[in-house]
C-alpha cells in the first residue's frame, strides 16, 4: 500500500530550511552596506585631515601593524570575522538542503515506480502475460515487437497498453485537500 504524500509538509520543511539562509544573507548584505559606508567616511575624513593623520590611515589600510588602531580597522576585522562565521553557516545549510533535495528525488523516484506498478497490477489483474506486456511497454518497446516476442495478437497488446495509459491519465485526488 502506498503511503500518503503531503505536499504541505514537504514545502514546510523546505521553507524551514531556507528561512535561516535568507536571514543570514540579509545580515551579510547589511554588514556589507555598513562596512562600505564606514570606509567612505574614513576616506573622506582622511582626505580632509592633516598629512600626519592621512599617512596613519594609509598605513592601516596597507595592514601596517605599527599604525595606530582605529575604529574603522576594528570594525573591518570584526566584520570579516562575522562574514567567515556566516559563510560557514550558509555552507552548512547548503549541504543540508542538497541532502534534502537528493532524498526528495529518491522518494519521488520510488513513488513513481510504485504508482506505475500499482497501475500495471490494476490493469493486468492476475494475468502474468498482461504484466509482461506492460513491463515491456514501460521499457519503451514497440507494440509490434511486444506482440512478436510474446506471440500475441498486435491488437491485444495495443489494447492492454492503451488501457494502461488511460488509467495513468486519470489523476487520483490529492490526499489531504487542496494546497
Query: Do 151 and 69 belong together in one domain?
Result: no
Query: Do 21 and 51 belong together in one domain?
Result: yes
Q: Please state, as a whole number, how many other Cβ atoms lie within 10 Å of the Cβ of residue 64.
A: 12
pTM above the 0.75 mark?
A: no
Torsion of CA 19, 21, 25, 27, to 10 degrees: 70
Distance CA 88, CA 82 (A): 10
| pLDDT confidence of residue 44 | 74
Residue 39 falls within a domain, yes or no?
Answer: yes
Residue 118 falls within a domain, yes or no?
Answer: no
Distance CA 59, CA 57 (A): 5
CB-count burial class (<10 Å; 0-12, 13-18, 19+) for 27: middle
Q: Identify the DSSP state of 174.
A: P
Question: What does the DSSP assignment read for 62-79?
Answer: HT-TTSPP-HHHHHHHHH
Reported as a pLDDT band with limits 50, 70 and 90, residue 99 is: very high
Contact 134, 123 (CB under 8 A): yes
Number of domains in the chain: 2
Q: Residue 70 is part of which domain span?
A: 7-105
Question: What is the per-residue pLDDT across 19-65, written as a single tens digit (0 to 9) for each?
Answer: 677 778 888 888 888 888 888 777 777 666 555 444 444 554 555 55
Query: Do 147 and 80 belong together in one domain?
Result: no
Query: Do 34 and 76 belong together in one domain?
Result: yes
Residue 2 falls within a domain, yes or no?
Answer: no
| pLDDT confidence of residue 35 | 86
Amino acid at each position: 500500500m502506498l503511503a500518503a504524500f503531503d505536499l504541505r509538509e514537504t514545502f514546510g520543511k523546505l521553507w524551514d530550511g531556507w528561512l535561516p539562509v535568507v536571514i543570514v544573507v540579509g545580515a551579510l548584505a547589511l554588514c556589507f552596506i555598513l562596512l562600505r559606508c564606514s570606509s567612505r567616511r574614513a576616506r573622506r575624513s582622511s582626505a580632509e585631515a592633516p598629512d600626519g593623520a592621512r599617512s596613519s590611515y594609509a598605513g592601516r589600510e596597507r595592514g601596517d601593524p605599527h599604525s595606530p588602531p582605529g575604529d574603522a580597522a576594528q570594525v573591518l576585522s570584526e566584520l570579516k570575522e562575522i562574514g567567515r562565521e556566516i559563510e560557514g553557516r550558509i555552507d552548512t545549510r547548503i549541504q543540508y538542503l542538497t541532502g534534502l533535495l537528493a532524498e526528495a528525488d529518491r522518494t519521488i523516484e520510488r513513488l513513481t515506480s510504485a504508482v506505475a506498478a500499482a497501475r500495471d497490477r490494476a490493469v493486468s489483474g492476475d494475468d502474468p502475460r498482461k504484466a509482461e506486456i506492460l513491463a515491456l511497454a514501460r521499457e519503451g518497446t514497440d507494440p509490434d515487437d511486444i506482440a512478436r516476442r510474446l506471440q500475441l495478437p498486435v491488437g491485444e497488446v495495443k489494447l492492454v497498453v492503451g488501457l494502461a495509459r488511460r488509467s495513468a491519465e486519470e489523476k487520483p485526488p490529492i490526499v489531504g485537500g487542496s494546497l
